[in-house]
Structure 1
Amino acid sequence: MTGDDVKDRVREIHDYRLTHGMLLKHVERHNDYLSTWDRLSRHISKQSAKHKQAPITSSTRPLAVSVLPTAFPRNHFEHARDLQTCFNELYIRLANNHTWLSEVRSPLLKHDAFLASLSRIYENVRSHGRRQNVVCGIFRSDYMLDAAQSCLKQVETNVFSASGFAHAQNVAKMHRHLRRAFDGHADPPENNNGNGIADMLAEADSIYRRQANQILGEVAAGLSETSHSAKLRKTCILMIVQPQNFNIADERPIEYALWDRGVSCYRCEWRDISSRTHLLDDGTLVFRPPTPQEPLEVSVVYYRAGYEAHEYDSRGSEARTTLEMSNAIKCPDIATHLTTCKTVQQALTRPRTLERFLPHDKVQMVRETFVEMHTFDIADCVLKANDDGGGHNVYRTDIPAFLAATAEEKWCTFTLMKLIRPPQSSGVLMTPDDIYRGTVVSELGVLGTCIWERKPNAEDLEVLRNDCAGWTLKTKPSNVDGMMLVKGLGAMDCPSLQQSFD
């Protein structure tokens, strides 16, 4: 591709990103974190302009994207999609096995404050008895190709507050448009992440409404003494989000898609859970929307926050417990949240573990994607913390210095994973500040959506929905460690499916 060809596409991409919300929002620090001088300056500014209406403005920066789709083998792309329902089933069953989860996490509780906070909530909810046995999940399994073995290797499975799906869908559509406009055909694979997520959440809302109406019918017939609300209020899906949120362009499209399906969806910031929700004696979770209307009954709690340790102070832990103890269907619940830590991923690599949770025909397919997670050749390793949310990995020769600065009793909270060595290909990436042309490597994410119901017997369950619903592709320069778009490490991409790498 010539320099002029790149310029033409870049010009088109600039406009496409702007007109399709492919943006990250700039956010201001919350007042709690402002310096004394900042507070004084704001007070003076407000006093001098107290009679003026301050303009409501916000600024954004563009999402980093690829200029061209990046080559990716078709057979591995399809295989990853085929695997997703297996991984959905695996993590559903892990979350339903109290004994195994306890065995895995118990040794870490003294040293991992975040995991301990989640575990206390889990045990509290479990001791009081679950009010809601239906759970739903939005999972993402991430893979890189292993160049030496020419196969997929799993980076991680994210089962809590997984993200990137709206961005990935927009980038896929952008590349289909660019291929039509510049090359006369559109061969990138379609991506309908948003529909897959919205359809699943809408189904969960429908399940909740059926449950509530059944209870009301039993009360009316005198068959139940349950004091559920005298009548079913209007329901809503409650999306729990972080304050000062830069990634609304990845969240809002899901919200809008639900409204388009006739399903009400409201956002509630993590810090506002206690003030905007109320738990009735019968377990009904009531939400007071910001609009002047009557309170709504929450059918589904969809978490896009709650994955960082600082969120679980006493107030945050109490708020999460309130949500978990409600009748609302959780996406996902606290038990499923516990399975997302890297220690679980490591435990699954142990002999005969997968056989406890999956049928024989699926075990080998899943095991083939696993990476060695107990080697100590640090030149070929990455150290992973249990923390979710990205940005916590330590690479190669930085590992000894990091461990030297970390109390030895906390070493057990990290997982040492063998680095995946993916094949390199040529790529063109467009960051907010520059155009990169050179060798790149990619990480494929596969979206899974699922709904399941726990049964009275301890480990029995029924899977109500289990789908592969879409994909993401992130690409970075081959010499960059880590993959985190919001920190400038990589770009959202779309695969150009090939028979194989040349």
Structure 2
Amino acid sequence: MSQARLTSCLPLPLDNKVLVNVIEKAKDWALMHGVGMRDKKHFTKDAIQIAPFVLLPSPFPRTEFAKAIELQPILNELMHKVAHDEEFLESTLQNALQVDEFTAKLYDVWVKVRSEGITQPVSLGMLRSDIMLESRCPHLENQCAKHTPYCSWKQVEINSIASGFGHLGPVSREIQSYVLRQLGHGELIKHMPENRALSGLCSGIIEAYDLFGVPSAVVLFVVEEVSYNICDQRFHEFEISEKRPDIIIYRKTLNEIYDETQLNDKKQLILEGQPVAVVYYRSGYEPAQYPSTKEWDARLRVERSTAIKCPSIQYQLAGTKKVQQALAAPGVLEKFMGGGNSTGRVRDIFTGLYSLDFDDNGERAVEMALADADRFVLKPQREGGGNNLYGGDVRDALLRMRHSRERAAYILMERILPPLVSAYVVRPGAQVPPPLTDVVSELGIFGVIIGSKDKILCNKQVGHMLRTKLAEANEGGVAAGLGALDSPFLLDL
């Protein structure tokens, strides 16, 4: 089955001289407005280079965009309920815990905190639901081909920790708006939805800070030893400082948290003599970020404290792939959401998700993937990009793990086949002009939710981001160097 195709907002290709001129302008605009990252090959704290970006906004159906926006608060609440259901998390993760050391260590932190008694019942969730348009629609192929080049979007995953691009999402719209004006098509900007993700996400941190209720308290960003995606992180700090200059923000690694913080007799996390109100993780989502016991001890110390965590340890566990797969099983959504219209709407966005546990369902999933590996993605319990397996690698991995309990640490997901778009992708150090290439996109919708097990205090959708990659590429993470910044151009199809 061939992939559908959506038409670019402007006729392509562009005239070569016009293209070279507008790219040079756009690259300078990017550097002067924070569309940048640090160079991994030649790292220095004194310079950034442009982040990869798509020159023109990518088409996206208006109705599907609106559906994603409307559904985000419902998904926020679902994740909140899942994170606070101890029995469900335990039963869902039990097989993965036996073979996935990283998830098991996160789970151990959660068990210790629960056994001692939860000190801070309020959690801050800054979530991002990643979705793709599905252009492969076997049951409606004739109708799709006749009436529209897409069917609907499907969920790739929900990110519950370090959900980045709150700055780079909105600024992508700004740089592409600049390009459209330079090309004499400023009238098209009205088809690009407003994006207030940065202010929306930062409002969540500010609201959590105010809930903590200690005027002298500080906010702590947990960061990597080396931060490449520095603009996206720093602009969160700049936004908070502009809105609330009274809030002091510190950036610390887990190792520094171990050395520089302590719990007082009230179980407040004390940093530089002040209690920490909010801990916002931009690190802590992969094993390499815990190279020693010190990092795990620091994570446990934070979880034991009165600080409001984003995410709390149970929120991070709720964001694992095993939970995503379990929610798609018959009857599970009804357990959390009841049997109303919202339940059906959420179920409609799930693509095929299959457990690889050692039972009849797991065996059927293995056989299905071995018979047609190109249909599937093999996913471990990891965030951050670059971890999934595709095509022949799926077959090889399953043949290797078929009789090993290691396979229980993965889930199998049907691969989503999004529509193609022709685009120019501008990358640092690459040729100018770049070739016109086929790309596909993944839309992320941001949500903020604050609450305890029994009460939700805040629940809202706050913005979006769009990542685009070459059509033949498997992974699309911008920070990982595989994707490019983009923004949606809404079409009435």
Q: TM-score, normalised by structure 2?
A: 0.86
Aligned-pair identity in percent equals 31
Structure-2 residue corresponding to 1:447: 446
Structure 1: distance between partners of 2:242 and 2:165 = 21
Contact 2:130 / 2:442 at 8 angstroms: preserved in 1?
Answer: yes
Q: Which amino acid aligns with 2:180?
A: R
Q: C-alpha deviations, 1:321-375, integer Å up to 9, x for none?
A: 1001111111110011101111111001100000111142210111101011234
Candidates 200, 217, 233, aligned match of 1:251:
233
The alpha-carbon distance between structure 1 residues 94 and 252, as it changes in their structure 2 partners (threshold 3 A), is same
Secondary structure at the counterpart of residue 138 of structure 1: strand
- Contact 1:173–1:191 (8 Å) recurs in 2: no
Question: In the alignment, what sits opposite 1:352?
Answer: 331
Aligned counterparts, 1:44-55, within 5 A? none
What is the correspondence of 1:22-61 to structure 2 with a 5 Å cutoff? Answer: 22-26=35-39, 58-61=46-49
The yes-or-no answer on 1:340 pairing with 2:319 is yes
Deviation at residue 265 of structure 1 after TM alignment? 1.4
For 1:413-452, list aligned pairs within 5 A.
413-432=409-428, 433-434=430-431, 435-452=434-451
Provide the C-alpha distance between the structure 1 equivalents of 2:86 and 2:351, rounded to a whole number of angstroms: 25
- Structure 2 CA distance, aligned partners of 1:415 and 1:61? 36
Which moves more between the two structures, 374-383 or 134-143? 374-383
Shift of 1:28: 8.3
Distance 1:441 1:27 in 2: 25
How many residue pairs match? The answer is 441
Deviation at 1:284, TM superposition (A): 1.1
Structure 2 residue ranges without an equivalent (≥5): 1-13, 138-150, 355-364
Q: 1:367 and 2:347 equivalent? A: yes
Preserved CA contact (<8 Å) 2:22 2:182: no
SS in 1 for 2:455: strand
Equivalent residue letter for 1:138: M
2:254 aligned to 270, 277, 302, which one? 270
Aligned: 1:190 with 2:194: yes
1:291 corresponds to which residue?
none
The residue number in structure 2 matching 1:296 is 274
Letter in 1 for 2:332: T
Report if aligned partners of 1:193, 1:470 keep a CA contact under 8 Å in 2: yes
Change (3 A) 1:129 1:436: farther
Report what 1:492 is aligned to.
485
Deviations 1:172-193 (A, max 9, x none): 1112222233313322222111
Q: Aligned equivalents of 1:405 and 1:248: distance in 2?
A: 39
Partners of 1:338 and 1:126 lie apart in 2 by: 14
C-alpha separation in 2, matches of 1:57 and 1:324? 31
1:29–1:244 CA contact under 8 A, matched in 2: no
Given that residues 27 and 244 in structure 1 are in contact (C-alpha distance below 8 angstroms), is that contact kept between their aligned partners in structure 2?
Answer: no
- In structure 2, relative to structure 1, the CA distance for the partners of 1:265 and 1:361 (3 Å cut) is same
CA contact (8 A) 2:177 2:186 kept: no
Deviates more, 1:260-269 or 1:401-410: 401-410
Q: Structure 1 stretch 432-441 or stretch 84-93: which is displaced more? A: 432-441
- Helix, strand or coil: the match of 1:484? coil
| CA-CA distance at 1:403 after TM superposition | 3.6
Q: 8 Å contact 1:441–1:478 — kept in the other structure?
A: yes
Q: CA deviation at 1:71?
A: 1.0
Tell me the residue number matched to 1:465: 458
Q: Deviations 1:181-232 (Å, cap 9, x if unpaired)? A: 33133222221111001111101100001xx5xxxxxxxxxxxxxxxxxxx6
Q: Give SS of 1:144's match.
A: strand
- Over aligned residue pairs, what C-alpha RMSD do you find? 1.8
Cα distance in structure 2, aligned partners of 1:176 and 1:437: 20
TM-score computed with the length of structure 1 as normaliser: 0.85
